[in-house]
Structure 1
Amino acid sequence: MIRRESFFPVLLALLWGFNWPAIKIVLQEFPPFVLRGIGLGSASLLLLAVALMLRRRLRVERASLLPLLVAGTLNIAAFNIFTAFAQLSTTTSQAAILTYTMPIWSVVLAALILREPIGREKVMAVIIGAIGIGLLAIPVFKSGQTLGIILPILAALAWALGTIVLKKWPLKGDPIATTAYQLMIGAAISLTGLAISGEALPPAVSAKVAGAFLFHIVCATAGAYLLWFTILSRNAASTSALLSFAVPVVGVLSAMLLVGDRPSLTDIAGFAAILAAPALVLRSSLK
C-alpha cells in the first residue's frame, strides 16, 4: 500500500513551483521587503492559529532556541529575501532554476558535516540534476546579468546550510509551532530590511495580485513550509533536498503559463534531466 507521505514531495513541488510565478505577479505592485514582511508574518500567524485550534504545544525547548534562530535566518529570511530580489534581476524561470542548485549543495554538505552516506543512486541523481540545472542556466550566463546569477545561488546556499542545521540539531517542539516561529524570524528580519530601505505599501492592489499574494501566504508559505519540514524530519538531509528537484520544473512550466516565460530546446532538455533526479531518489528511498 502506498503511504500518504509518498505524495508529500509531489504536493510540495506543485505548491512551491506555482509560487514562483505568484511571487513575480505580487512583485508587480509590492516591493521585496514589504512582500516578505507581510507574507512571512501572515503565514506565521496563520500556523500559530492552527496550532492553538489543534491545542498543540507552543513551547520550544531551550536547547532548540539557537538552532531555531539560525534555521529561521537561513531557511526563511535569507532564502526568501534573496529569491525576491533575484526575480527582479532575471526571469522567473532562470531564478527558479539557479535556486535549485540547493540539492547539490545539500548532498555535499550532508556528506561533509553530517557524514551521511551517499549511495550510487544519489550520486547519479546529483550528476543528472546538475546537468539539467546547468542546461537551464545557460541563458543566464549568456545574458551577463550578474545579480541574476549571484542572488539565486546565495539563496540556494542559505537553504542548504539551514537544512544541515536542522538535521544536525533537530528542533524539539511541535512541528506546526516550530515552523511558525521560523517564519516569524524571517518576517522580523524582512521588516528590519523594510525599515532600513524605506519601502512603502502600494497605494492600491489589483485583484490578480491579491489572489497571488493569498496563494503565496496560505498555500506556498504556511502549508508548503510545514510540508517541507515534515519531509526533512522523516528523511536524510540529502534525500530531502534531492526530492525538491521537481520544484523548478513546475516553476518554469507555471511561469510559461502565468507570466509568459518561453523555454528553449535547451530548457526542455534540462526539464527531462531534472525530472530523472527525484525519480532516482524515490527509488532509493523505497528500497
Structure 2
Amino acid sequence: MTTAVGTATTGSPARTAWLLLGVVALAWGINWPVGKAMLAYLPPIWVVALRSAVGTLALLVICLLRGRLVIPKRGDIPVILSVGVLHMTAFSALVSLGLQFVPAGRSVVLAYTTPLWVVPGAWLLLGEPLTGRRLLGVGLGLLGLLLIFNPLTFDWHAGRAVFGNGLVMLAALCWAASILYVRSHKWVTPPFELVFWQALLATVLLVPLALVHDGVPSIDWQPSLIGLLLYGGVFGIALAYWAVTTVNRMLPAATTSLGLLGVPVFGIVCSAVALGEVVSAALLGAMGLILGGILVGALGRRS
C-alpha cells in the first residue's frame, strides 16, 4: 500500500474517501461469509483460485478503462512476489482451508490479529521502535487471543478445530510477512498498477495448487455460486483494492488502518445474519481486546 499523502482531509474529497473506506470495510467484511458459503459448492483451494481469476479479469478491465495497465519494471518484481505469494495466495488458501473447520466470524477475528505480529516483526527486521504504547497494544491483543483459546473452554481434543484455527493463524503470519516487506520496499511503479500483476500471479499459482490438492472439481454452476464468485472477485478483490488504494492517497495511513478495523466487525455481523453463526460473549470480548490493541498501537505511531 502507498503511504498516504498528508494533505488536509476536509471537504468533498475527504467525504468521498471516508465513503470509499466504509465500502471497503463492508465489502471485505461480507467477503468472509461469502467465502464460507462457497465451500458448499467448491473445494477450498478452488474457491480462492476461481475468485482470484474473476478478480484478475475485473482488475484488467479497470486498468484498461483507466489507462493504468503497465508492464512491471525489474524493481517491481519483489513486491509483486511478496503480495502475490504471501498475501493473495498463501493467506487466501490457508483461510479457505481453515474455514472448513472454523466459523467465519471467529476466522475474521483471528485473521485480523495480523497487525499485532507486524509490531514485533518491524522491531526485529526493520528497526522500528518498540514503544510502550505498541507493547500495550500487543499485550491487549494477546489477551484477546487467550480469551479465544481459553484452555479451560477450548476443546483441544477436537483435532479439526485446532487444525482450522492454526491454519487461520498461519495465514495472519503470512499477511504480516507481506506487510513487513511492503513497508521496506522502494516503490518504482505506483501500487495500484501492480495489483493486477499480483492477482495474476496468485491465479497462476492457485489453479495448479487446486488441481494438486483438490483434483478436477465437478461444479454445479448454480446462479447462487456464480453470484458468490462474482462478488468475491469483483467486489472483494478488484473494486476493494482500487478503493483502498484511492483512500490511501486521500487520507493519512493511520486513519486508513483504523478504518479497516471495521472489517472484522462487519464480518462477525454478516456471518451471524447470513450464516446463522452464534456470536458468543467470549468472541465479542476477544474482538474488543484485539481491535483495542491494534487501535492503541496505531494511535501511537508518528508518520
* TM-score normalised by the chain length of structure 1: 0.85
1:78 aligns with 2:90: yes
Contact kept in structure 2, 1:43 and 1:222, CA below 8 Å: yes
Q: CA deviation at 1:54?
A: 1.0
Distance 1:78 1:112, change over 3 A: same
> 1 or 2, which has the higher helix percentage?
1
Equivalent in the alignment of 1:131: 143
Aligned AA (2:168):
P
- Matched residue, 2:128: 116
Partner of residue 192, structure 2? 176
Residue 280 (structure 1) shift? 3.8
Over residues 221-274 of structure 1, what are the superposed CA-to-partner deviations in whole Å (9 max), with x where a residue is unaligned? Answer: 1222344566778877x9976764442232122111111110222122223334
Larger-Rg structure: 2
Shift of 1:281: 5.5
AA aligned to 1:98 is: L
Whole-angstrom distance in 1 between the partners of 2:51 and 2:175: 18
Higher relative CO (Cα under 8 Å, sequence separation at least 6) belongs to: 2
Q: How many residues align?
A: 286
- What is the match of residue 273 of structure 1? 289
What secondary structure is seen at the aligned counterpart in 2 of 1:113? helix
The answer (yes or no) to whether the contact 2:43–2:214 under 8 Å persists in 1 is no
The gaps in structure 2 that reach 5 residues or longer are 1-8
1:15 maps to 2:15: no
Structure 1, unmatched stretches of 5+, are none
Aligned twin of 1:204: 220
In structure 2, distance between residues paired with 1:109 and 1:243? 22
Equivalent of residue 170 in structure 2, options 149, 154, 177:
154
RMSD, aligned α-carbons: 3.0
Q: Is the 8 A contact 2:91 2:174 kept in 1?
A: yes
Structure 1 185/177 Cα, relative in aligned 2: closer, same or farther at 3 Å?
A: same
Evaluate the alpha carbon distance shift between residue 107 and residue 224 of structure 1 in structure 2; reply closer, same or farther with a 3 A threshold.
farther
Letter in 2 for 1:248: P
Instruction: Pick which of 4-13 and 178-187 moved more.
Output: 4-13
CA distance in 1, matches of 2:20, 2:64: 24
Q: Distance in 2 between matches of 1:5 and 1:129?
A: 28
Residue 208 of structure 2 corresponds to residue 192 of structure 1: yes
TM superposition shift of 1:43: 0.7
Closer, same or farther in 2 for the Cα pair 1:95/1:38, shift >3 Å?
same
On the 8 A contact 1:12/1:227 being kept in 2, the answer is yes
How far the C-alpha of 1:163 sits from its partner, in A, is: 0.9
Q: Which residue of 1 aligns with 2:265?
A: 249
**Shift of the alpha carbon at 1:204?**
1.8
The verdict on how the C-alpha distance between 1:15 and 1:117 changes in structure 2, with shifts beyond 3 A counting, is farther
- Give the deviation of 1:134 after TM superposition: 3.4
**One-letter amino acid of the structure 1 residue matched with residue 287 of structure 2:** F
- Give yes or no for contact 2:105–2:277 (8 Å, CA) kept in 1: yes
Percent identity among equivalent residues? 23
Q: How does 1:49-64 map to 2 (within 5 A)?
A: 49-64=61-76
Matched residues in 1 for 2:28 and 2:149: separation?
A: 19
Q: CA deviation at 1:157?
A: 0.9
- Secondary structure, counterpart of 2:100 in structure 1: helix
TM-score, normalised via structure 2 length:
0.81
Deviation at 1:108, TM superposition (A): 1.4
- The Cα of 1:24 is off from its aligned counterpart by 0.7
Alignment of 1:87-126 (within 5 A): 87-126=99-138
Distance change >3 Å, CA 141–CA 222, structure 1 → 2: farther
Letter in 2 for 1:209: L
Partner Cα distance (1:210, 1:223) in 2? 18
Relative to structure 2, which stretch is displaced further, 218-227 or 115-124? 115-124
Once residues 208 and 146 of structure 2 are traced to their aligned partners in structure 1, the CA distance between those partners, rounded to angstroms, is 35
Between 1:239-248 and 1:11-20, the stretch displaced more is: 239-248
What is the CA-CA distance between 1:41 and the residue it aligns to? 1.6
